[in-house]
Amino acid sequence: MTTEVDLAAPLRIADLSAARDPVRVVVGPQVRDRVTHTRIFLSEVLGEDRAVYGSTTGFGALVGYAGRADLRDQADNTLAHLGAGHGPDLAPEIVRATALVRAWSLAQGASGVSPHVVDALAAMLGTTFVPAVPRWGSVGASGDLIPLGAVAQALRGRGHAYLDGVRLSAAEALHRAGLEPLPLDGRDALALVNGTSLTTAATALALSAVRAAHRSVQVLTCLLADLLGADPQFLDARLLRAYGHPGAIDVGARMRRVSDGLVPSGKRPLQEPYSIRCAPQLLGAAEDALRHVDSVVTADLGSVSDNPLFFPDDDLVVHGGNFFGQPAAFAADLLSMVVAQVGNLAERQLDLLVDPHRNGGLPPMLAAGPGQQHGLQGVQLASTALIAEIRRDAMPASMQSLPTNLHNQDVIPLGTQAALRVFDQAGLLRLIVGSLALGLRQAAYVGARTPTAPGCGEALAALVAAIPPVDPDRPLDGDVRRAADVMDTLELPLTPLTLDGRRDA
């Protein structure tokens, strides 16, 4: 069933995720009326010889010079010089989410675009068409100029695009998709590129992925504690209320639901290592940070990021800086910090689990026959490499401002770099989560006790059903991804289930 997105309604992160596949984008009468109303106002303003950036002027540092007299020529003037991006093409889901964010922003009727521009974006999203957009070139200051320029050019039939996953000339891809090349004038072209839609889309998609990993680590921490026979008092509600942080209180409550019924073995030390004992505090702090990122993304999804903006009822054309992606830059950098620490927690938990000195006597590396077999040894090595990669790339982008564009852009947020970076990191975090989940499934096979908490039991049951034990050794890259898939779809709290995940499961 095709998802429907109404441009008259608030845009949601779920809409961006759905746009990975063809979606039906509704451009209803309310949207059409306000876009048309502002477009008529723009014509009146230009007829009065009032200055309008990008319509009567050059761009960026060349604003003091006149633009081309013909408005359609002015579209070429806008887009041609932006064909300067480099690097690999962005992931299709990011590009399509970007197009949806841009369509919503333009549909608010403050940008002065032709109605057919919004229609063209909506039509594109109803197909598998994906503009080929180079990764490098945006500083996120006048919006995502170079990448959005590639989107606009592809819609005109210039450059390259994908259709059904095949890279073609944009003209051929449009033809095969049943789409017409998009005619633009200078205002249309500038409105397509002068916004932070790529930064917003990538941050939103990364947030969704990190949220899923954060939920999974909460469940897996409970399962780890249960398999080891740890005392669950580290989740005590009174303890966490005294801590005072809302995220920790809420994370603790969720983890108590998952671990409800956990019976300590009495064989563990009084106090567990921090990777278990301090998990609600760490994951709670992550929850507080994720809530802030969510508020920024929500504001960005409801934002008109463009310049200038048109307010026909007030007879105003207002020039300013709504294309400056500083909020998302800060938010994406914060999200990167969350990824690094949640990933570090999961990697340390896996390290604890494979260590016979700390895992309650389970075999080293959870190998079914140590020496003849090596169990999770390769997976644990790869997890260490993954968290090292995340850490190496965690330097905040938003503090790297440097001047460009003849000092017209003398401060820049670099939100695009921050957003694309954390999108990549979220994918690595998911693999670390899958690695820990696979380790817990294997621990149940090589001698860990049967979970005593029904919620933990059902989480393990889902993993056991999807993944055979590692006996004998085999390549485990696919199993890591499959375990991550299981955790993505797991719903907790769950109903009780009797499960034996040991060697005879």
In sequence order, the 6+-apart residues with CB closer than 8 A to the CB of 489 are none
Give pTM, 2 decimals.
0.94
* pLDDT at res. 460: 98
* pLDDT at res. 498: 33
- At 501, the pLDDT band (50, 70, 90 cuts) reads very low
* pLDDT at res. 69: 63
* pLDDT at res. 414: 78
* pLDDT at res. 497: 32
What DSSP designation does 181 have?
A: P
* pLDDT at res. 143: 79
Q: Write down the H helix ranges in 126-236.
A: 145-155, 170-177, 186-193, 197-228
Omega before 493 within 30 of 0, i.e. cis: yes
Residue in 29, 21, 193, 19 with CA at minimum distance from that of residue 106: 193
162 has catalytic annotation:
no
* pLDDT at res. 405: 64
Using one digit for the tens of pLDDT, what is the confidence trace for 399-419?
877 777 666 676 777 789 999
Residue 136, beta-bridge partner list: 86
- At 59, the pLDDT band (50, 70, 90 cuts) reads low
Using one digit for the tens of pLDDT, what is the confidence trace for 16-29?
999 999 999 999 99
Give the C-alpha separation, 171 to 493, whole Å. 51
Give the C-alpha separation, 471 to 368, whole Å. 6
* pLDDT at res. 74: 73
CA angle 501, 433, 272 (to 5 degrees): 75
- At 53, the pLDDT band (50, 70, 90 cuts) reads confident
* pLDDT at res. 430: 98
Query: What are the chain's domains?
Result: 3-195 (1.10.275.10), 203-303+317-401+412-489 (1.20.200.10)
- At 77, the pLDDT band (50, 70, 90 cuts) reads confident
Using one digit for the tens of pLDDT, what is the confidence trace for 152-206?
999 999 999 999 999 999 999 999 999 999 999 989 999 999 999 999 999 999 9
Burial readout 25-57 (b: 16 or more C-beta within 10 A, e: otherwise): bebeeebbebbeebbebbeebbeeeeebbbbbb
Give the C-alpha separation, 191 to 82, whole Å. 14
In sequence order, the 6+-apart residues with CB closer than 8 A to the CB of 244 are none
Using one digit for the tens of pLDDT, what is the confidence trace for 320-376?
888 888 999 999 999 999 999 999 999 999 999 999 999 999 999 999 999 999 999
Using one digit for the tens of pLDDT, what is the confidence trace for 305-316?
998 999 999 999
Using one digit for the tens of pLDDT, what is the confidence trace for 115-154?
999 999 999 999 999 999 999 988 877 779 999 999 999 9
